[in-house]
């Protein structure tokens, strides 16, 4: 895959997607939106890719929308403006719906859409120097496209505050409210990402995709008869798969499962 605004780097079973507009702090425009959507779609369809890491070149993860692009779309006819907004919303949904595990490697600024990217990924690993914000209201806007993913990450109660105040959220605070899973010093950030990747690679890929689908199916639903029946069918189906049989056999025989990458 060749892109104008991205760098794709394969590191073993993980593929790193680097946003590559460092002079603009990896701000979104129509090209970056389209290329991120394409990259995540294609990588998610590749069975050789066990995890996708999203990162940013330069000083920032992503400072959100390119304001010149936002201004240009605001002046466009409604149909054009709406079509462009749908493409942005589709990007976040594409990332959030990946069956392949996704990790946001966040350093520096993750503002507006940048915070949306961090929230749309399954896991967020942040530098101690990371700064998050839903900064849209200070521009007379709202965090609409990113809203479902940020609310999912930090909860409705925290969203009432940060959507309206647009306050900066430091890395430790991001961890406290559920946005970041891990915080590391800048020089240890990649090592922390690798630690999380190691944990991911120990799991079966089919099981991980099924686990993600399970979360989507049961989150915020009452545990009624339909949910109980659904969960029973899920485990009954999965434990009859070759992957589950191989995993149980490896565990009983005290050896790594076949999907665990060889060391060295």
Write the CB contacts of 198 (distance below 8 Å, at least 6 apart in sequence). Answer: none
Q: What residue spans of 202-241 are helical by DSSP H?
A: 205-218, 225-238
Residue 226 confidence (pLDDT): 93
CA–centroid distance for 131 within its chain: 17
* CA distance linking residue 35 with residue 84, whole number of Å: 14
Residue 65 confidence (pLDDT): 84
- Report yes or no: 49 and 13 within 8 Å, Cβ to Cβ: yes
pLDDT tens string for the chain (264 positions)?
789 999 999 999 999 999 999 999 999 999 999 999 999 999 999 999 999 999 999 999 999 888 788 778 778 788 888 888 899 999 999 999 999 999 999 999 999 999 999 999 999 999 999 999 999 999 999 999 999 999 999 999 999 999 999 999 999 999 999 999 999 999 999 999 999 999 999 999 999 999 999 999 999 889 999 999 999 999 999 999 999 999 989 999 999 999 998 875
Residue 235 confidence (pLDDT): 93
- Domain limits of the chain? 6-200, 204-252
Residue 40 confidence (pLDDT): 98
Burial class (CB in 10 A: 0-12, 13-18, 19+), 92: buried
pTM: 0.95
- Report yes or no: 64 and 135 within 8 Å, Cβ to Cβ: yes
Q: What is the DSSP string of 3-35?
A: -SSEEEEEETTEEEEEE--GGGTT-B-HHHHHH
Residue 15, strand partner residues: 10, 52
* CA distance linking residue 54 with residue 217, whole number of Å: 25
Residue 201 confidence (pLDDT): 96
β-strand pairing of 182-184 with 51-56: unpaired
- Report yes or no: 134 and 190 within 8 Å, Cβ to Cβ: no
Q: 187: how many CB neighbours lie within 10 A of its CB? A: 8
Residue 105, strand partner residues: 125
SS3 content of the chain, % helix, strand, coil (to 5): 50, 15, 35
Q: Distance of CA 4 to CAs 19, 21, 33, 38, 60, Å?
A: 10, 9, 11, 12, 18
Q: Distance of CA 91 to CAs 70, 117, 122, 165, 184, Å?
A: 16, 9, 15, 25, 27
Q: HSE-up of 36 (CA within 13 Å, CB side)?
A: 32
Residue 5 confidence (pLDDT): 95
Residue 263 confidence (pLDDT): 73
Q: Which CATH class is domain 6-200?
A: alpha beta
Residue 72 confidence (pLDDT): 81
Per-residue DSSP letter, 61: S
């Amino acid at each position: 895959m060749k892109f104008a605004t991205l760098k794709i780097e394969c590191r073993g079973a993980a593929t790193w997607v680097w946003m590559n507009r460092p002079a603009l702090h990896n701000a979104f425009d129509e090209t970056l939106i389209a290329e991120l959507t394409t990259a995540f779609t294609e990588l998610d369809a590749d069975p050789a890719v066990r995890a996708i890491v999203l990162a940013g070149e330069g000083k920032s993860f992503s400072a959100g929308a390119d304001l010149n692009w936002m201004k240009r779309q605001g002046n466009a006819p409604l149909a054009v403006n709406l079509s462009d907004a749908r493409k942005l919303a589709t990007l976040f949904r594409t990332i959030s719906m990946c069956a392949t595990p996704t990790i946001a490697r966040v350093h520096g600024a993750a503002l507006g859409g940048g915070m949306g990217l961090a929230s749309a990924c399954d896991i967020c690993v942040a530098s101690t120097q990371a700064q998050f914000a839903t900064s849209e209201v200070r521009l007379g806007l709202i965090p609409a496209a990113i809203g479902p993913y940020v609310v999912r990450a930090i909860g409705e109660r925290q969203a009432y505050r940060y959507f309206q105040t647009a306050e900066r959220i430091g890395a430790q605070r991001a961890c406290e409210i559920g946005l970041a899973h891990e915080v590391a010093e800048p020089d240890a950030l990649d090592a922390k990402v690798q630690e999380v990747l190691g944990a991911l690679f120990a799991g079966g890929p089919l099981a991980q995709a099924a686990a993600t689908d399970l979360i989507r199916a049961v989150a915020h639903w009452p545990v009624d008869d339909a949910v109980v029946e659904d969960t029973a069918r899920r485990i009954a189906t999965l434990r009859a798969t070759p992957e589950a049989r191989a995993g149980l056999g490896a565990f009983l025989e005290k050896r790594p499962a076949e999907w665990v990458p060889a060391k060295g």
